[in-house]
Amino acid sequence: MEVQITSENFESLKNGQLPLVVDFWATWCGPCRMIAPVIAELAKEYDGRITVGKCDVEENEDLAMEYGIRNIPTILFFKGGQMVDKLVGAVNKAKLDEKFQSIL
């Protein structure tokens, strides 16, 4: 299940027990809407092993600026509180799944 990432809960999720995947997106972004079902599917598949969240860049500009998000969708991968990987743009499920596997 996906969680909503905000400026208020980001640090606790980033430093939580599970690795964190954050999908930076916006409602008006076509490629973001295109990969949303794939992200949701992977969130279910990795439930209990990886926390998967969505962060609306318009509602959380501070986080987008902190991580230099210039293009969306951008997906950041965190492990042990540190960013370990990044994907920019719409990618297929196989590529996303490979990245999810790499942070377990």
**Residue numbers annotated as active site:** 29, 32
Residue recorded with tokens 């540190």: 82
The single-letter DSSP state of residue 31 is H
The strand ranges marked E within the chain are: 2-4, 20-25, 51-56, 74-79, 82-88
90 touches 73 (CB < 8 A): yes
Q: Rounded to the nearest 5 degrees, what angle is found at the Cα of 38, between the Cα atoms of 33 and 40?
A: 90
